[in-house]
Structure 1
Amino acid sequence: MYEPHCGLANLKFAWGHDEYMYQMLVFNKASIPAEGLAMIRYHSCYPWHNKKEYSHFMAEGDDDLLEWVLEFNKFDLYTKADKRPDVKELWPYYQSLIDKYMPGKLWW
C-alpha cells in the first residue's frame, strides 16, 4: 500500500482527536508552522516516536518533525497539575495565539 520512504504525510491515520484537529487546521489554512502541525498530528503515534516503527516510511524532513514531536511529548502525558489554572489570567495569552495563527471563524 505504501512505498518505502514515502513520507509520514502520505500515510493514512485513524481519525482520532489528533487527526481531526490537524485536518481542521489545514482546512482552515491556519498559519501554524509544519513543526507545530506535526506535533498536533503525530504526538499520539507512539509506535513511531517511541518504538521507531514506521521509520521505513520516513522521508526527508521527517527526522526534523520527529524531534519536535519528541520535545512536545515532554509536556503532554503526565504533566497535568492538580491546581486549576486561572482562565481569565491565561485568556489574553491564548487569544493572542489564536489571533496570530487562526484568525477569523473556523470551520469545524
Structure 2
Amino acid sequence: CYPIHREGAYQHLLIESDRPMLEWVKDFNQYDLYTKRDERMDVDGLRPYYEELIAEFFPAQLAW
C-alpha cells in the first residue's frame, strides 16, 4: 500500500472516488501499527501507562 500513498504509484488504477479517500489514507498513515522511528521504546517508562489502561478496562482477575 505504501507505493500508492507515498510515491504516487498506481495512479492509473484509481477511479475518481478513490482520490479523495487517498488523502484520508495519507493522514491515517502516521497512526499505523509500524513505528516510523529507529529509536527503541522505553518499555519500563511505558509500563505504568499501559498498566493503568488495563486496570481501567479489565477486571483484576480474568476468568479463562
Question: For the residues of structure 1 that align with 2:35 and 2:22, how far apart are their CA atoms?
Answer: 20
- Match for residue 17 of structure 2? 61
Q: Call closer, same or farther: CA 1:59–1:78 in 2, change over 3 Å.
A: same
Normalising by the residue count of structure 1, what TM-score does the alignment of the two structures yield? 0.35
- Greater relative CO (CA pairs within 8 A, separation 6+): 1
Normalising by the residue count of structure 2, what TM-score does the alignment of the two structures yield? 0.55
Question: For the residues of structure 1 that align with 2:29 and 2:22, how far apart are their CA atoms?
Answer: 10
Question: For the residues of structure 2 that align with 1:61 and 1:87, how far apart are their CA atoms?
Answer: 40
Question: For the residues of structure 2 that align with 1:49 and 1:75, how far apart are their CA atoms?
Answer: 14
Equivalenced residues, count: 45
Question: For the residues of structure 2 that align with 1:71 and 1:46, how far apart are their CA atoms?
Answer: 13
- Match for residue 87 of structure 1? 54
Percent identity over the alignment is: 38
CA RMSD of aligned residues (A): 2.1
* Displacement over 4 Å in runs of 4+: none
Question: For the residues of structure 2 that align with 1:87 and 1:48, how far apart are their CA atoms?
Answer: 37
Does residue 49 (structure 1) correspond to residue 2 (structure 2)? The answer is no
